[in-house]
Amino acid sequence: MKIAPNVTPAKRPPEFQDGSSIRLPSLQILNQDGSVAAGANMPDLPRDQARKIYSDMLYIRLLDERMQNAQRQGRLSFYMTCTGEEASVAGTIAAFGAQDMVMAQYREQLALRYRGFTTAQFMNQLFGNIEDLGKGRMMPVHYGSRELNIMTISSPLATQIPQAAGYAYGQKLKGKDACTLCYFGEGAASEGDFHAGLNMAAVLNCPVVFVVRNNGYAISTPCSEQFATDGIAPRGLGYGIKTIRVDGNDILAVYAASVEARRIAIQEQRPVLIETISYRLGAHSTSDDPSGYRSKDEEQIWRDKDPIQRMKNWMIAQRWWDETSDSDLQQSYRTEILAELKLAEQRDKPPLGDLITDVYKSVPSHLLEQFQALEAHIAKYPDHYSV
């Protein structure tokens, strides 16, 4: 057993520690006005890559706005935004290779965009039409792409965490020059799968980078009611995992931490935990009303820390961007998104038979019986179904 070797002589009553003294700093490079913090170590982020990161962040902000409105118009059943957390996702995915597997939660649409997911693919999934890669089986925002090495999103919280540890262990056994990137929120860190996944990764030295987006709320439950310790980062230390906390609205800090995290995962063959401190500016989902559990004043404090505006300020200071380019890009994205939305909502739905394919090599008898019962039910009540 590798327990701490230090022995305390019993010369006084036993002393217990509760972890309340653990306070991890948060890495920051950029100030909100786009200036570089004094003494900060700048990451090597080329101009073209910086412009792509910023463009993708802006794209997702506009996509979220358009699809939120589409849901309110009754054109879409459900949606979840990434608004306010764009840098936490963009700064991480940009540091990883195309061969690295991504296991996300449901605010990481920016990871798909960065790897090449098209507007049409977003729309086809959201509307569950015949061109949806998931064949219309998943509810909106449950994206996935085998081609882009992004595992399909699951609704139950934290399932991807032990899966990521296991997948990374497989990469390790095969000697692949790749790792796994796993995203989740601080609410998911309250699930048992979080502890199982981190412990497995630590014991087996799995090349996996866990990114926990601490946005302050698990739906309506604030952090103060979720845990008594200093956020999620100390838990990584407790499992023996290399851990860092970063300002999740600072694109350069997130990127710098992620570059090093991937290096550790690949070269040292061990797990890493990154906690990004950010804020969910929008509702948890289109089914949620945040005004019932947080104030407008609190929201405004974080709107003033907008990650997109911060990166834009830095890009302009670098002379890598300007207001005209920004306006033109926004208009271009808005036009593209609306056009693809209109096309996607008109496409046919997948054939009913797709419900029972792709799970088993041969469709088992019990599924065939259920499907036949479904067909009979629809035939009996044709006016209630659009198939």
Query: Do strands 150-151 and 242-247 pair parallel, antiparallel, or not at all (unpaired)?
Result: unpaired
pLDDT digits (tens, 9 = 90+) for 81-94: 999 999 999 999 99
Which pLDDT value is given to residue 23? 86
**Would you call 280 a catalytic residue per the annotation?**
yes
Identify the active-site residue in 107, 213, 245, 284: 284
pTM: predicted TM-score of the whole model, two decimal places: 0.94
**Would you call 293 a catalytic residue per the annotation?**
yes
Cα 345 off chain centre by = 26
pLDDT digits (tens, 9 = 90+) for 315-372: 999 999 999 999 999 999 999 999 999 999 999 999 999 999 888 899 999 999 999 9
Identify the active-site residue in 293, 303, 377, 385: 293
**Would you call 284 a catalytic residue per the annotation?**
yes
- End-to-end distance of the chain based on CA atoms, in angstroms? 61
Question: What is the average pLDDT score of the chain?
Answer: 95
Identify the active-site residue in 113, 245, 280, 310: 280
| Short-list 88, 16, 23, CA closest to 231 | 23
Alpha helix stretches (DSSP H) within 86-226: 86-93, 109-115, 119-127, 160-173, 192-204
Could you tell me what percent of the chain has a pLDDT over 90?
Answer: 91
pLDDT digits (tens, 9 = 90+) for 232-261: 999 999 999 999 999 999 999 999 999 999
Note whether 194 and 241 are within 8 A (CB). Answer: no
